[in-house]
Amino acid sequence: MAVPKKRTGASAQGHRRSNWKATVPETTVCSNCGEIILTHTVCDACGYYKGKVVSRKAEGFVEEAEAKKPAKKATKPKTAKKAKKEEPVAEAVETTEVKETETVAEITEEASAEENKEEKTEE
C-alpha cells in the first residue's frame, strides 16, 4: 500500500478543502397551502405535490388500489406442443366457440322478434 513520504501541510490541506461548502437547500412555496417546502417534495402540511393530491394527509386522497381495480387477465392459449398432445381438447374448445356464436345469433333474433312485437302493439 502506498504511504506518503511527507506530511501534508495545513495550507495544502486548506486549499483542498476550500470547496467543501454547505449550500442552502432550494425551497419553494406550496401551491395549495403556502407552506415553505423543499423543491420536488410532497408538502408535509397538506399532502399535495404540484397541485395534485398524493398523500394521506390531503382531504381528497384515494388509494390507487381502490381507484383502479385490476382487470382480469385473459388466459393464454396453450402452446403448440401441448395442443398436439391434447388435440381432442383443442377441438372441444373450438366447438364451444361455435356454440357461443350460435347462442349470440339466437339472442339477437329473439331481441329483434321482441322489438317487432312491441312495434305491432304500439300501432
pLDDT in tens, 101-119: 556 667 777 777 877 777 7
User: C-alpha grid cell for residue 45?
Assistant: 402540511
What dihedral do alpha carbons 94, 96, 97, 98 form, nearest 10°? 90
CA distance 23 to 19: 11
Average pLDDT over residues 73-101: 56
The Cα–Cα gap between 15 and 10 comes to 9
Which residues are registered as beta bridge partners of 48?
A: 53
Does this model's pTM top 0.85? My answer is no
Radius of gyration (C-alpha) of the chain in whole angstroms = 36
Residue 90, C-alpha cell as written in the block: 383443442
| Cβ(50)–Cβ(37) below 8 Å | no
Q: Using the predicted structure, report yes or no on whether residue 42 has a pLDDT greater than 80.
A: yes
